């Protein structure tokens, strides 16, 4: 399978990431989940950040990322990740399943039967790998049922804010910033 090439979604997330990183402490520990070509990790590196880990399920991507001098782990989401991060970036597969699409490209684009299932699993796992003041930058599509994704984030006690969106043919793309909600009372 080929490495997922940057597209409209990648570039929207990249622009949001550059704005987010402006004036941030360069000691941030960053995870680029579903890294693909590594565009987000490379953007972080170009902005002067060095504590970057990339993760992808596809070994071809992991090999490519290692050749780009990026710390890369072959993992199905967080299955091989033990640490916590100040920033988790994710451009997950988010489209509803299309039986006409070739199986190998479905791995890069399909987020489940309805399109949001992968993103819900990602959010549930990502919360456990965020530092106390950590942030998630997540991209998804109008085709992936945004209300369901945002309701799941709310149930996980994550605050969410749309920081970018763009209309392209057939869909709208969104980038959301999610953080642990510090307003919830702590358990005894």
pLDDT one-digit tens code per residue, 89-139: 999 876 656 667 566 665 666 556 777 888 999 999 999 999 999 999 999
Burial class (CB in 10 A: 0-12, 13-18, 19+), 38: buried
Nearest to 107 by CA among 91, 93, 95, 120: 93
DSSP calls for 103-168: HHHHHHHEEESSS-HHHHHHHHHHHTTEEEEEEEEEEEEGGG-HHHHHHHHHHTTEEEEEEEEEEE
* pLDDT confidence of residue 155: 96
In angstroms, the CA 137 to CA 150 distance is 13
DSSP calls for 48-101: T---EEEEES-HHHHHHHHHTT-EEEE-STTTT--S-EEEEEE----EEP-TTS
DSSP-based three-state secondary structure for 11: helix
Q: Write out pLDDT tens, residues 147-169.
A: 999 999 999 999 999 999 999 98
In the CATH scheme, what is the code of domain 28-180? Answer: 3.40.50.150
Return the sign of the alpha-carbon dihedral for residues 85, 81, 73, 174. negative
Q: How distant is the alpha carbon of residue 48 from its chain centre?
A: 20
Q: Write out pLDDT tens, residues 64-98.
A: 999 999 999 999 999 999 999 999 999 987 665 66
Q: Write out pLDDT tens, residues 45-63.
A: 999 999 999 999 999 999 9
Kindly state the helix (H) or strand (E) to which residue 40 belongs, with its residue range. helix 39-46
């Amino acid at each position: 399978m080929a490495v997922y090439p940057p597209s409209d979604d990648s570039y929207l997330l990249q622009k949001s990431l550059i704005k987010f990183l402006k004036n941030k402490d360069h000691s941030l520990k960053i995870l680029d989940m579903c890294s693909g070509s590594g565009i987000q990790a490379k953007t972080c590196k170009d902005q002067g950040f060095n504590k970057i880990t990339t993760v992808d399920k596809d070994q071809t991507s992991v090999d490519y990322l290692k050749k780009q001098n990026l710390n890369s782990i072959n993992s199905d989401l967080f299955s091989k990740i033990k640490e916590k991060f100040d920033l988790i970036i994710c451009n997950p597969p988010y489209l509803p399943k299309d039986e006409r699409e070739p199986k190998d490209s479905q791995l890069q684009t399909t987020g489940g039967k309805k399109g949001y299932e992968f993103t819900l699993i990602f959010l549930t796992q990502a919360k456990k790998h965020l530092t106390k003041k950590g942030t998630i930058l997540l991209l998804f599509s109008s085709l992936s049922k945004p209300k369901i994704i945002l309701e799941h984030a709310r149930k996980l006690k994550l605050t969410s804010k749309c920081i970018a969106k763009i209309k392209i043919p057939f869909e709208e793309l969104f980038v959301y910033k999610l953080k642990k909600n510090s307003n919830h009372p702590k358990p005894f």
